[in-house]
Amino acid sequence: MAAHWLPGATGAVHLPWGFGAYRWRVSDGGTTLFVTLDRPGRRHTGDSLEAAYAGAADLAAAGVDAVCAPLPARSGRFTVHLGDAGAGEARRPRAAPGPGRSP
């Protein structure tokens, strides 16, 4: 997180939401990001994950309010390859998630 999106990241809280990926809330004391770790496999590759997140960013930039766009990493890409762990991405949550809701 610190190297790619949030230099002052001080902690991460696992969020047991969604299917097929791992999610955390990461904060630096002022900014909070929603972070996803996804492992490429049968459903997608690192390239297809990047394309999906880039497409979401394009939709948000075009004014589609329903999209919570990912943030580009310092590299300019939306995903970061994490070796055997998979690929990660980050975004600012639109609203605090409540019970039964994903951010």
15-44 pLDDT tens trace: 988 777 888 889 888 888 888 888 878 888
Greater model confidence, 7 or 103: 7
- Per-chain mean pLDDT for the chain: 81
What share of residues in the chain are helix, strand, coil (percent, to 5)?
20, 25, 55
Mean pLDDT of 6-10: 88
pTM to 2 decimals? Answer: 0.75
- The confidence score (pLDDT) of residue 85 equals 65
Cα three-residue angle 55-57-61, rounded to 5 degrees? 115
For a pLDDT cut of 70, what percent of the chain falls above it?
83
